[in-house]
Amino acid sequence: MSRNKTLSKIEKDDDIQAVTDLAKARQKIEKEVAKVIVGQKQVIEELLISLLSKGHSLIVGVPGLAKTLLIKTVADVLDLSFNRIQFTPDLMPSDITGTDVIEEDHTTGRRVFQFVKGPIFSNIVLADEINRTPPKTQAALLQAMQERQVTIGGKTYDQGHRSPELRFPKPFFVLATQNPIEQEGTYPLPEAQLDRFMFNISITYPSFEEETEIVKKTTSAFQEYPKRVLSGEDIANLQELVRKVPVADHVVKYAVTLARKTRPTEDDAYGFVKELVSWGAGPRASQYLILGAKTRAILNNRHSPSTDDVRAICRPVLRHRIVTNFNAEAEGVDSLKIIERLLEEVDESKMD
């Protein structure tokens, strides 16, 4: 056996072992998060999928559902640096990225500009109530979200830079929250920025049993603290592992078909899509459906995704990418109902 084939087999064995280790780590993560957060298992799974896929998530839920606490707990369990930014109408882009301040050199007496890094320089950034700030400030996140780098004052900070001073955090994950109730005085995210979020995660009210447990936990003197399960380096390696996961052609075709069927301009679009949808999902949706399916598969100790994995994540992927029209609004049809109808109509058996 040649040296290259030997190395290839070693790498394959290591990857298979890494999948097994990740599935075990997933159980530990859920156990540690459960020390602080009651329920929300699907939300936690979607957060992990988004993080390991190098994606970002938009979390929508009414106040008081522990969105901030959940994200902070996940950051602690994964041993990642965490910063929270409260978005307000007077927030400036420099409040996010950082700014130059004048400092005096005590040896020479000269004054020089010194860059002070903003809260975006962390592994997990919580953009709380992102729709409360003007588009100019919202746009400060765009380059970091898409390119994993920030350009400030002519200097570019990226993840692969050799100099630690100019290095951007790795991994990097933006979690933005929105309150679906109050819309007065808000600045809705443009479609271009919404499309940069891999998932739109909906957090709902807890069940009676869960709320009872929440009350018991939060009104007691006893408090549990979660333990670290993975490190930032582990997460970065697992993000690369996701890219290596093989996918069958029929799974890719199914994901692409689901995304294309949301577009009313396609010749073979369904009648209800042409009637109720203004704009459908773009190619980024197809990419995220496959990446998310890959991640969900290895989180469940499987070495390749199936169409079931695509169906499981299509709601958070497509929910914010389908723009309904006036007809849909008049009939009380939202993007989620469109997705449910698509899942019924698209026949996976025809993808072979």
Domain residue limits, the chain: 3-218, 245-351
pLDDT at 13: 65
Residues sharing a CB contact under 8 Å with residue 198, sequence separation 6 or more, in sequence order:
50, 53, 55, 56, 57, 288, 291, 292, 316, 317
- Are 141 and 174 in contact by the 8 Å Cβ rule? The answer is yes
Model confidence, pTM = 0.85
How far is CA 337 from each of CA 179, 262, 277, 282, 324, rounded to the nearest angstrom?
21, 12, 11, 19, 11
pLDDT at 9: 41
- CA proximity to 277, closest of 198, 336, 343, 208: 336
- CA proximity to 49, closest of 74, 14, 68, 31: 74
Regions in the chain scoring below 50 on pLDDT = 1-10
DSSP structure class, residue 167:
B
- Are 77 and 226 in contact by the 8 Å Cβ rule? The answer is yes
pLDDT at 8: 41
d(CA 260, CA 282): 8
User: What are the strands, taking DSSP E only, across 62-152?
Assistant: 82-86, 98-104, 111-117, 124-128, 149-152
- Are 123 and 114 in contact by the 8 Å Cβ rule? The answer is no
CATH classification code of 245-351: 1.10.8.80
pLDDT at 12: 64
| Fold of the CATH domain 3-218 | Rossmann fold (3.40.50)
Per-residue model confidence as pLDDT tens digits over 178-201: 877 766 667 788 777 888 888 999
